[in-house]
Amino acid sequence: MGYIASLMLPASPKTRVLGYVRVSTEQQADTGLSLDAQRTKIAAYAVAMDLELVDVVEDAGFSAKTLARPGLQAALARLESKEADGLVIAKLDRLTRSVRDLGDLVDRYFTGRFSLLSLADSIDTRTASGRLILHVLGAVSQWEREATGERTRDALAQLRASGARLGGAAYGWRHGDAKGEHGRRLFEDVRGELATISRIRELHKQGLSIRAIAAALEAEGHPTKLGGRWHPTMVHRLLRRHADE
């Protein structure tokens, strides 16, 4: 009786998955990466792995350089709404070519919440080995972010040490034609704007409020950097920047 009863137990429910396929414009004629070829591979994989293929979502003519693709965002939203338990792709580069973006997807979706299955890369996060591969890729993504941050900080520190001004030209200066040691355009004075800064400091010493100074600059016709109106926040920012002069 026990043996017969075991045969009558209901089968485990199939894992529900969404397929995702993508081609960029220049890849339309590439039969190995065509939408139909990807669909065929995903459908065959679902049958072989006993998966319930709920739907296949596509992005045609979209690059993998960004995650802001309508098809991908729709697929992720459908995962969030519990329409499926995982995402199936023919190859990892159909999802993204960016290690950084992959790390973001892993953190947000594929670490415990949903499964990711990639045919060509042998990734199936329902298994220990599949999760290991994805975690390694995520670790590489974190390393890339940290290494990029370190290189950026080192480069900025070197530029500051050399006396180079960073960012856009502040009020009182503009980019000139001359270039410095690192090939960056050097700043040069804008006499009219420097005169306005002197006027702001003068009015402040006279005891005028920030709002009153802004009104005075408007009345006297002093131009702002972008040609708009003077606002108290702009005056306050310039006073803070030039407080020690």
Q: Is the separation of the CB atoms in 232 and 208 below 8 Å?
A: no
Half-sphere exposure of 204 (CA within 13 A, CB side): 17
What is the spatial distance between Cα 102 and Cα 92, in angstroms, rounded to a whole number?
Answer: 9
Number of neighbouring beta carbons within 10 Å of residue 126: 14
User: Of all helices (H) and strands (E), which one includes residue 199?
Assistant: helix 191-205
Q: What proportions of the chain, in percent to the nearest 5, are helix, strand and coil?
A: 50, 15, 35
Which residues are annotated as catalytic? Answer: 24
By the 10 Å C-beta count (0-12 exposed, 13-18 middle, 19+ buried), 184 is classed as middle
Please choose, from the candidates 55, 146, 63, the residue with its C-alpha nearest in 3D space to the C-alpha of residue 103: 146
| Continuous H helices in 96-190 | 99-108, 128-161
Rounded CA separation 133/106 (Å): 11
Cα distances (Å, whole numbers) of residue 153 to 1, 69, 157, 158: 72, 32, 6, 9
Specify the length of the chain in residues. 245
Going by the DSSP 8-state scheme, the letter that residue 34 receives in this structure is: -
